[in-house]
Amino acid sequence: MMKRIVRELLVDVNSFEDSKKIELVIDNPFEEIRCDKPISVQLFLYKEKDSITVSGKVSTTVIEPCSRCLKPVKLQIEGNVEALYVNQSKLLSKSRSGPVGELDNTFLLSEDILDLSDRVIEAIIVEIPLKVLCSKDCKGLCPVCGTDLNENPNHRCETPKEPQDKWHSLLYNLKENIIKKDQ
pLDDT at position 94, please? 52
Instruction: Determine how β-strand 51-65 pairs with β-strand 72-87.
Output: antiparallel
Phi and psi torsions of 13, nearest 5°: -65, -15
Half-sphere exposure of residue 43: CA atoms within 13 angstroms, side-chain side: 26
pTM of the shown model: 0.74
Residue 148 per-residue DSSP state: B
Supply angle C-alpha 45, 46, 49, rounded to 5. 135
CA distances from residue 13 to 60, 100, 104 in whole angstroms, order as listed: 27, 21, 22
Mean pLDDT across 34-48: 93
- Label residue 176 by pLDDT band (50, 70, 90): confident
Residue 101 has pLDDT above 50, yes or no: no
Contacts of residue 140, defined as CB under 8 A and 6 or more positions apart, other chains included, come to: 68, 69, 149, 150
Lowest mean pLDDT among 19-28, 30-39, 40-49, 153-162: 153-162
Residue 179 has pLDDT above 80, yes or no: no
Residue 156 has pLDDT above 80, yes or no: yes
Lowest mean pLDDT among 13-17, 67-71, 85-89, 152-156: 85-89
